[in-house]
Chain A
Amino acid sequence: MTDVAESSTSQLAYGPTDWDDHHHLPTNTGLTNEKITMWAFLGSDCLLFGSLVSTYLLLRNRVGPSTRGPTAADLFDIPFTSVSSFVLLMSSLTMVLAVTSIQRAEMERCKLWLLTTAALGSIFIAGQVYEFTGFYREGLGFTTNISSSAFFTLTGFHGVHVSLGIVMLVTMWVLVSGGYLGPDRAETIEIIGLYWHFVDIVWIVIFAVVYLIP
Chain B
Amino acid sequence: MAITEERPEILELESGDTTSSTGVFARPTNATGWRAWLFTVDHKKIGIMYGVVAMFWFLWGGIEALLIRAQLFTPNGTVLTADQYNQLFTMHGTTMVFLVIMPLAAAFANYMVPLQIGARDVAFPRMNALGLWIFVFGGIFLNLSWFLGGGPDGGWFAYAPNTGVTFSPGAGMDFYALGLQIAGIASLVGAINLIVTIINMRAPGMTMLRMPVFTWMILVVQFLLLFALPVITVALILLSFDRTFDANFFNVSMGADPLLWQHLFWIFGHPEVYILILPSFGIVSETLPVFSRKPLFGYSVIVISGAAIGFMGWGVWAHHMFVSGLGPVGVAAFSATTMFIAVPTGVKILNWIATMWGGNLRFTLPMMFSVSLVSMFTIGGLSGVMHAVAPADTQQTDTYFIVAHFHYVLFGGALMGLFAGMYYWWPKAFGYRLNDKLGKWHFWAVLLGFNMAFGPMHILGLQGMARRHSRYGPEDGFDFWNAVVTIGAFVILIGMIIFAVNIVRSWLGYKEGTVPQEPADPWDGRTLEWAIPSPTPEHNFDYVPVVTDVDDFWHKKYQPDANGKLRKVADGNAIAQKGDQHPHLPSPSYWPIVLAAALPLIALGLIYNLWLTGIGLVLLLGSMFGWSLEPATDPDAGHGDHGDDHGPEEDGPDGNDKVEAETAEEAPVD
Which residues does A use to contact B, with CB under 8 Å? Answer: 1, 3-5, 8-17, 19-20, 22-34, 36-37, 40-41, 43-45, 47-48, 50-52, 55, 58-59, 62-67, 103, 142-143, 145-146, 148-150, 153, 171, 179-182, 184-187
Contacts and interface: CB of A to CB of B under 8 A. Distances in A.
Contacts of B241: 149, 153
Interface string B240-274: 01000111110111111100100010000000000
B230 A47 contact: yes
A45 B230 contact: yes
Contacts of A45: 230
Interface string B631-670: 0000000001111011111111100011111101101000
B53 interface: no
A52 B264 CA distance: 10
Contacts of B233: 48, 51
Given A22-B583, A146-B255, A184-B649, A27 B575 contact: no
B642 A9 contact: no
Contact of A37 (B196, B246, B253): B196
A62 B256 contact: yes
B665 A17 contact: no
Contact of A33 (B124, B257, B641): B124
Contacts of A36: 195-196, 199-200
Contacts of B253: 64-66
Contact of A14 (B228, B252, B546, B641): B546
Best-surrounded residue of A1, A16, A22, A36 (most CB of chain B within 10 A): A22
Q: A interface, by DSSP: helix, strand, loop or mixed? A: loop
Contacts of A40: 192, 195-196, 226
B289 interface: no
Contacts of B583: 22
A22 B642 contact: yes
A58 to B, nearest CB: 6
B480 interface: no
Interface stretch (B12-20, B168-176, B388-396): B12-20
B83 interface: no
A14 B543 contact: yes
B18 A179 contact: yes
A16 B543 contact: yes
Given A1-B568, A9-B574, A180-B22, A67 B657 contact: no
B436 interface: no
Nearest to A21: B544
A36 B235 CA distance: 27
Interface of B: 14, 16, 18-19, 22, 123-124, 188, 192, 195-196, 199-204, 226-231, 233-235, 237-238, 241, 245-249, 251-257, 260, 264, 528, 531, 541, 543-546, 553, 556-557, 567-572, 574-578, 583-584, 625, 628, 640-643, 645-653, 657-662, 664-665, 667
Given A23-B642, A67-B255, 17 more contacts: A3-B568, A11-B575, A12-B578, A14-B577, A22-B584, A26-B664, A30-B662, A33-B200, A33-B647, A34-B649, A47-B230, A62-B255, A66-B254, A148-B248, A153-B241, A184-B649, A187-B653
Contacts of B546: 14, 17, 19
10 contacts: A11-B570, A13-B545, A14-B546, A25-B642, A62-B254, A64-B253, A65-B253, A67-B254, A149-B247, A153-B241
Contacts, number: 235
Nearest to B118: A14
Contact of B658 (A30, A150, A180): A30
Contacts of B574: 9-10
A122 B501 CA distance: 61
Contacts of B199: 28-29, 36
B231 A187 contact: no
A5 B559 CA distance: 12
Nearest to A47: B230
B229 A44 contact: yes
B576 A30 contact: no
Given A24-B643, A32-B648, A146 B256 contact: yes
A51 B123 CA distance: 29
